[in-house]
């Protein structure tokens, strides 16, 4: 079987590498219009940082895993085509700022139609509004020829930073298909691919619309947990309750569960915000105003949490950060990735620069992306890979990303070279606050009582 994936990004690259690894008899090709990205996938310096990814790619590259920019030829040769192009939030016209921008998606559908001479199974891997499969089917069927297309939904649930682990051992794989003979055959073909390594009972099948909606719903539920605990973190700060103790207490209730209850500076990443806004727009389109408002609040709370973080920094630093050096430790939206899309650090860095702080950004993997995100700020932001150098002469450090490396730094050495009073704002509750306080820092966590010498 020839499998093709259109879109060699954070999802297309790792997912296809895993399929190639687990299905050695299948030829897997990944194509993209971005030639630099395709070249990077074939080099020693992959276009994305993901623990364990290099090893998986190396094991299959040139054996049964191929990267190419020749989209048309690859479509012609494929039996099954995954579409994993980006589906960002629309920035123009109707639904701007909320609806999904489906231009890349539709372009791909038309390209598949134009280059297909044999029947194909087309698999939606991208995250899409519910009923997009119907639109795709309509485009594919508009050719009027003999070629038959069967559209499936197979949303991806991997998280960045743990993509390889998630792909090796997924909680579930979801495949949505139509309840027709051709639909059932297509579903069975895709089940067979995953069954190479995923236990059958974890491969769920459903109708197409449930599958499309389940992806949006899963992200909305996950983000909602983060917003819920972040909402409580504000109340903790006002009442001397400790949000970590609250998380622990509620997380031990097996009905609630312990995961995704870490209060933070806010959730980031390319998908939570975009997918919830997409859900909100979808609800509004169906006239479900109250449902839309309910989910919108998850995003609003996330914005509030980031703004609240900066407001707290300002008030703790005598209501001015003008001219003060502030080191941001971490810029990626979470640890173990270089991805900075929608990272809370972007909004926070911008607000600090607006307050005329001298912002210095440090991150083990995300500095290149940070420079692109903040390029319009020019030399008002500095970038420094060495955290010790970043903190030298600073009035404050703000931990933006929970990278393990920040937990093991010599904070006495850092403190000795900072301006006094030296503040530490832990946006992830990742460090030992009592130890930092002992050294001399004023320590401000999320949802915690301040440990201040002032
Ligand atoms: P990405 O931007 O990293 O990759 C998308 C790629 O598609 C880009 O390299 C782009 O050049 C390419 N592309 C766009 N139009 C093309 C075309 N016509 N032909 C060939 N290539 C084309 O995006 P991503 O993070 O991989 O996300 C892809 C989809 O998967 C999105 O819908 C996203 O919501 C979903 N998703 C992402 C994640 C994640 O962790 N990033 C997880 C689950 C689902
Ligand atoms: C998320 C989902 O977890 C994946 O299942 C999904 O496939 C993916 O979105 C997607 O559709 O793109 P991802 O965004 O890569 O994955 O990372 P998460 O681990 O979910 O973290 C998202 C954000 O929430 C990060 O900024 C993280 O720091 C934050 N977070 C997470 C918290 O602030 N607290 C928590 O307890 C958990």
Q: What is the CATH number of the domain that holds 292?
A: 3.40.50.720
Q: Per-residue pLDDT tens for 317-370?
A: 999 999 999 999 999 999 999 999 999 999 999 999 999 999 999 999 999 999
Same domain, 430 and 339: yes
What is the C-alpha to C-alpha distance for residues 12 and 28, in angstroms, rounded to an integer?
11
Among this protein's residues, is 271 annotated catalytic? yes
| pLDDT value of position 157 | 98
For the CA of 275, the nearest atom of ligand 2: 11
Residue with the smallest CA separation from ligand 2 atom 31 is: 260
Same domain, 115 and 179: yes
Same domain, 306 and 165: no
| pLDDT value of position 198 | 98
For 85, other C-beta atoms within 10 Å of its C-beta total: 22
Residues of the chain scoring pLDDT < 70: none
Ligand 1 centroid – CA 90 distance (Å): 15
What is the C-alpha to C-alpha distance for residues 372 and 340, in angstroms, rounded to an integer?
10
Choose one of 150, 175, 206: the last residue of a domain.
206
Ligand 1 centroid – CA 16 distance (Å): 13
Q: Are 435 and 417 in contact (CB under 8 A)?
A: no
Same domain, 116 and 128: yes
E-assigned strand segments in 191-281: 203-206
For 245, other C-beta atoms within 10 Å of its C-beta total: 12
Same domain, 195 and 264: no
| pLDDT value of position 27 | 98
Same domain, 233 and 195: no
Residue of 9, 35, 162, 278 to mutate, ligand 1, most atoms within 8 A of C-beta:
9
Same domain, 244 and 380: yes
Same domain, 8 and 147: yes
Choose one of 191, 206, 221: the last residue of a domain.
206
E-assigned strand segments in 161-314: 173-176, 203-206
Kindly state if the Cβ of 333 falls inside 6 Å of ligand 1. Answer: no
Same domain, 406 and 388: yes
Same domain, 351 and 329: yes
| pLDDT value of position 251 | 98
Choose one of 206, 226, 246: the last residue of a domain.
206
Same domain, 129 and 192: yes
What is the C-alpha to C-alpha distance for residues 78 and 28, in angstroms, rounded to an integer?
9
Domain count, the chain: 2
Helix axes 208-239, 289-316, angle to 10 degrees: 40
What is the C-alpha to C-alpha distance for residues 454 and 442, in angstroms, rounded to an integer?
8
Same domain, 443 and 324: yes
| pLDDT value of position 145 | 86
Q: Are 396 and 425 in contact (CB under 8 A)?
A: yes
| pLDDT value of position 264 | 98
Residues in the chain: 454
Parent domain of 182? 2-206
| pLDDT value of position 133 | 92
């Amino acid at each position: 079987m020839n499998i093709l994936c259109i879109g060699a990004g954070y999802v297309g690259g790792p997912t296809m590498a895993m399929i190639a690894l687990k299905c050695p008899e299948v030829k897997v090709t990944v194509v993209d219009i971005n030639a630099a990205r395709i070249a990077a996938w074939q080099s020693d310096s992959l276009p994305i940082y993901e623990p364990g990814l290099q090893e998986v790619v190396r094991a299959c590259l040139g054996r049964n895993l191929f990267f190419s920019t020749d989209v048309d030829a690859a479509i012609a040769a494929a039996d099954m085509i995954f579409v994993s192009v980006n589906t960002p939030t629309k920035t123009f016209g109707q639904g701007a700022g909320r609806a999904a921008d489906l231009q890349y998606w539709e372009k791909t559908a038309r390209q598949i139609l134009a280059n297909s001479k044999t029947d194909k199974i087309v698999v939606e891997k991208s995250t899409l509004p519910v009923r997009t499969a119907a639109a795709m089917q309509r485009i594919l069927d508009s050719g009027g020829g003999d070629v038959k297309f069967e559209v499936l939904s197979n949303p991806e649930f991997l998280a960045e930073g743990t993509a390889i682990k998630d792909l090796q051992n997924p909680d579930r794989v979801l495949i949505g298909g139509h309840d027709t003979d051709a639909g059932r055959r297509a579903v069975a073909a895709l089940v067979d691919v995953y069954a190479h390594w995923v236990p059958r009972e974890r491969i769920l099948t459903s109708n197409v619309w449930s599958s499309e909606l389940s992806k949006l719903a899963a992200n909305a539920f996950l983000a909602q947990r983060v917003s819920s605990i972040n909402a409580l973190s504000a109340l903790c700060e006002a009442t001397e309750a400790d949000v970590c103790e609250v998380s622990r207490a509620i997380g031990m209730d097996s009905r609630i569960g312990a995961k995704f209850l870490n209060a933070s500076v806010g959730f980031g990443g390319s998908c939570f915000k975009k997918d919830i806004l997409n859900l909100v727009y979808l609800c509004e389109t169906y006239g479900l105003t109250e449902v839309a408002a309910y989910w919108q609040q998850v995003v609003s709370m996330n914005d509030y949490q980031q703004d609240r973080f900066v407001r707290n920094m300002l008030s703790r630093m005598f209501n001015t950060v003008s001219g003060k050096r502030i080191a941001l430790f971490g810029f990626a939206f979470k640890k173990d990735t270089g991805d900075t899309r929608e990272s809370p650090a972007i909004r926070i860095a911008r607000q600090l620069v607006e307050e005329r702080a001298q912002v210095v950004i440090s991150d083990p993997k995300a500095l290149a992306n940070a420079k692109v995100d903040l390029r319009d700020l020019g030399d008002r932001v500095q970038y420094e890979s060495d955290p010790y150098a970043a903190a030298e002469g600073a009035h404050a450090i703000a931990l933006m990303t929970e990278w393990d490396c920040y937990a093991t730094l010599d904070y006495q050495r850092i403190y000795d070279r900072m301006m006094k009073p030296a503040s530490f704002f832990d946006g992830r509750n990742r460090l030992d606050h009592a130890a930092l306080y002992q050294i001399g820092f004023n320590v401000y966590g999320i949802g915690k009582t301040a440990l201040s010498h002032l």
